[in-house]
Every structure is written in C-alpha cells, then in structure tokens.
Homo-oligomer: A and B are copies of this chain.
Amino acid sequence: MTEPSRPQRGENLDITHKRGKPTLRTIATIAGLAVTTVSRALSDAPQISLETRQRVHRIAREIGYLPDRAAQRLKTGRTNVVAILLDPHEEVVGFTTSIMYGIAKALKETPYHLVVAPNFLSTTNAEAAEYIIRNHLADGLIFTRTEPLDARVRLLLEAGFPFICHGRTEFSTPHPYVDYDNFTFAYEATRRLIAKGRTKVAVILPPKRLTFCQHILHGFMTAVREAGIAYEVPEKVDLDTPADVLRDFVRARAAAPDAPDGFVCPGEVSALAVIGGMSDAGRTLATDYDIVAKETSRLLTQLQPKVDTIHEDLTAAGEDLGRMLLQRINNPDAEDLHLLLPPQINFPVG
C-alpha cells in the first residue's frame, strides 16, 4: 500500500507561469492581492497604502520581476523606444559610436531602449523618419548633421512627433536641439593662429548644405575681420572630401606664392590630410605653418602632438540628446530644450 499522494512543495501556490517569467499575477498571488493593486503599487500610485506598496516592491525585487515591454506597449501605446537615424557617412572618427554611447548612457536607468534605424530604408533621409512616425516604431527620434531647412525637421514638426537633433536649423518654429558652438570654435581657432603670428589663414569648411558650415565660416570671418588679416576659403574641398584629394589640393596650394600658413580644420582626418599635404610641399608643422583642429577622439593628438586642438565631446552631446529627448517625450510643452555645448580649448601654454 502506497501513501496517498500529497501536494508537492509549492504546488498549492500557482505562481509558475507558462513561459516561466514572473508577471503581475505571480506577485498578486504571492501577496494575496489583485493584479490591479500590484500594478498600482509598482507605479507608486498614491491611493495604495504605503505598506502595501513597499511589500509589493519587495516581492517584485525578490522574484526578479520585470514588466513585459510588449504588454505595456500594447496597452499604453508607448513604445519605450528611442530611434536614431544612422547616417552611413561618417566624416568624424567614431562620430556615431560616441553619440550612441552617450545616448545609451542617458537611457540607462530608464525603460527606454535605443534602436538603430538606418537611412537606407528609404531613398531620402526624411522617408526613414516618416516610416517611423507612421508606424509609431518609437516614441522619439534623434538624428545628426542638420541642414538649415532640414526635411526631417519639417516633417517631424508638422507631425508633432518628439525629436531632437544634433545641430541647428533655420525654421521659425523652435525645436529641441543640441549643438556644438562651432562659431566659438572657429573664432578661437582663428585667433590662436593669428596670435601665433600667422599671416594668412584658411579654413576647411563642412559641406555647404549643413547648418554648421555657416557657423564655422562666421566664426572664422569674425576673427579675420577683427584682426584685418589675409585669409582664404577654399571652394573646391570640404570636410567630406576624401583625404587624398584634400592632401593633393593642399600640396598644390602650398606651392603657390600666396599660400596660407594657418589652417582651421573642423575634423581630425582633414587635419591629418592638411599636414600630409603641407609635408609633401616641404613645410614643417609649427615652424612653417600652424593648424588648429577640432578633436573628437584621441587620434589626432596622439599622432600629431604638435597640433593645437579644441575638443568636442560627442559622448557628452549624446548624453544630452538622450536626456533632453526624454524630457520632450514626457512633457510636450517643455521649453528651452536647447543646448549649445562650449568648445574645450586645449592650447598648451606655449
């Protein structure tokens, strides 16, 4: 004769879930509460007694509960996702990675995830944005390299879709942005060249269609005019020009009698190309000419320690982008979501 079977350990409490993951019901069963109450308690609703709230939080922690994103998203209509438009073009070393890293940092303690939406999903980069809006694939959008009348900005403003961009525009409607103070960068860079005694300065501009091209030009020209110094703005090359083409251009230019002896370079690779071109022409950095470059990684100063640099912290920018986008998402009327990050000047005492 065998013993009559008894309830196994834990059999009386039906807290094991189909897929094995604890849910609100698991907690409700353990706590002897309704699912509703548990949901409320976890979101710290004021009408739930403090004692219950604490107890529910404790249980949740103990069994490793984590809310199901799909269910939340289905119910609330919020995706808890922030998307970034990935630009295949990367003129700055580690540009995208640094920004993404910063965004991820800002999202760290929030329920938000970062998803990557490559631009090639569509022919124009505004179409990628449209796709995301139309199908509500994210709660907010981040992108970089703005143009004065950026099609993405226009679209997102019209749709009232939360976004923030790295770079400014010229729309009359204000919108959130984080930008680097490229005016001051160019102004200080140019002044540094002048202070070092250079007699003719040149600047490698970003592509003309980008907003910050004007900022750089403006900063450069302001310093030039203040000092009444000779200058030149090459038309045939820009920051996106392949390094070898830029190098050849600089070499050819250096051979002429009225060649510039000071360069403002808003990118590390272009700075290296300029140095290469000048070197091809027999000119020595810091002796025959000088460069002030924008530095976003350690690359340039590691390779050419003699270059004066002004730093742009892209990870910090990413962090601000993430933080401010969340503000915009959670409070559509939030104002002053504008940030102009100051250049960090690294000139040695010399």
Contacts and interface: CB of A to CB of B under 8 A. Distances in A.
B100 A86 contact: yes
What bracket does the count of chain A residues touching chain B fall in?
A: 35 or more
Task: State the copy count for this chain.
Answer: 2
A81 B138 CA distance: 13
A204 to B, nearest CB: 15
Contacts of A93: 93-94
B73 A86 contact: no
A115 B115 contact: yes
A185 B118 CA distance: 31
Contacts of A288: none
B118 A105 contact: yes
Given A116-B100, A298-B242, A19 B273 contact: no
A69 B79 CA distance: 10
B64 A299 contact: no
B115 A269 contact: no
A70 interface: yes
A114 interface: yes
A231 to B, nearest CB: 26
A311 interface: no
Given A86-B100, A273-B302, 4 more contacts: A69-B137, A86-B97, A86-B104, A276-B304
